[in-house]
Structure 1
């Protein structure tokens, strides 16, 4: 059985990160962040992509997105997002050349076990980087929209796993805040981070076995356990 290359599965969430070329700054001013989020919002339906979470850091972008039956939509979305940002910055700075690394990283995520954990991992990036004390203080992530603190939240998608957070929208918002405030285990961080870095799967052993059968791939490194969801 061949070793694993990039795996893209229809209707599964994918944790995606695209970094600046040589880790250069890609978001230098508020307009840079605003344009990228606007492009993501505009293009998601064109390419049949659901968007569950995002966080734009100075030199990279984290997304949690799911392609439809046409899995090519994910690669097309990332290509157009990168191209638009590159053209804008090159025009602005009177330069030429690439802005991003040529290849983005991605990891297929097990929805019912790790989707919420990946949302938390993505939206807590600025907190882990000591840029803000609270996720709510960072304007360039999906957190405020996810908890109803932003009026511009209607374009984010809702997976059925969000239903476990409550019976009403308000209840889900409040319990998501609680979920975000919980301590995150070292094992959960390690599982999500390593799966992304290695282009592997974020999920339980059973999930990995299922994907191996579906895609005909072999997974060498496996995460253990499942994230805590007390909310």
Structure 2
């Protein structure tokens, strides 16, 4: 069964996952991680891509990437910067936020939307996406839409 097409929003950050073939190890040692980050830094600059975050695992990589306006290797989100004036306090507050986790009901909603290639968000967000794409993308019930005859 083919994978559901992803919603691609122009000028918005995207979560990118790279996996090793058949989930094989891609980072065997520290030098592999370092080389990947050097290449990522160089390519992000050359291609004008902002790197908001990365997570390098043994057999895969998670990247949060967005379009570039300036040369910035790791570009902290404004919401992160607004957590506190000093970096140490920002990190502490962010760590507390992450420790809280996501409520199970929200996780279920996100998983269902992801599986169906749909959005989660408030009506304003859904409206903005529709304006950008020219198509309405929102959470729908599973299965075929009912045919209404009047």
Paired position in structure 1 for 2:144 = none
Paired position in structure 1 for 2:10 = 9
Tell me: CA distance 1:54–1:4, structure 2 relative to 1, closer, same or farther (3 Å). same
Alignment of 1:32-43 (within 5 A): 32-43=32-43
Asked if structure 2 preserves the Cα contact closer than 8 Å seen for 1:16 and 1:196, the reply is no
- Residues 88-128 of structure 1: CA deviation (Å, up to 9, x unaligned): xxxxxxxxxxxxxxxxxxxxxxxxxxxxxxxxxxxxxxxxx
Tell me: CA distance 1:183–1:196, structure 2 relative to 1, closer, same or farther (3 Å). same
Paired position in structure 1 for 2:90 = 172
Tell me: CA distance 1:22–1:216, structure 2 relative to 1, closer, same or farther (3 Å). farther
- Counting matched residue pairs gives 135
Report the Cα distance in structure 2 between the residues aligned to 1:35 and 1:54, rounded to whole angstroms: 14
Give the TM-score taking structure 1 as reference length.
Answer: 0.49
Q: Which has the higher helix share?
A: 1
- Larger RCO: Structure 1 or Structure 2 (Cα < 8 Å, ≥ 6 residues apart)? 1
Report the Cα distance in structure 1 between the residues aligned to 2:112 and 2:53, rounded to whole angstroms: 19
Choose which of 103, 106, 115 in structure 2 pairs with 1:185. 103
Tell me: CA distance 1:192–1:53, structure 2 relative to 1, closer, same or farther (3 Å). farther
- Residues 160-187 of structure 1: CA deviation (Å, up to 9, x unaligned): 1113311332321221121122233223
Largest Rg, 1 or 2: 2
SS at match of 1:15: strand
Give the TM-score taking structure 2 as reference length.
Answer: 0.70
Tell me: CA distance 1:204–1:68, structure 2 relative to 1, closer, same or farther (3 Å). farther
Residue 33 of structure 1: how far off its partner (Å): 1.9
SS at match of 1:53: strand
Report the Cα distance in structure 2 between the residues aligned to 1:28 and 1:42, rounded to whole angstroms: 22
Alignment of 1:76-95 (within 5 A): none
Tell me: CA distance 1:61–1:175, structure 2 relative to 1, closer, same or farther (3 Å). same
Alignment of 1:77-156 (within 5 A): 155-156=73-74
Report the Cα distance in structure 1 between the residues aligned to 2:93 and 2:14, rounded to whole angstroms: 23
Structure 2 unaligned segments of length 5 or more: list them: 141-150
Paired position in structure 2 for 1:157 = 75
Tell me: CA distance 1:47–1:193, structure 2 relative to 1, closer, same or farther (3 Å). farther
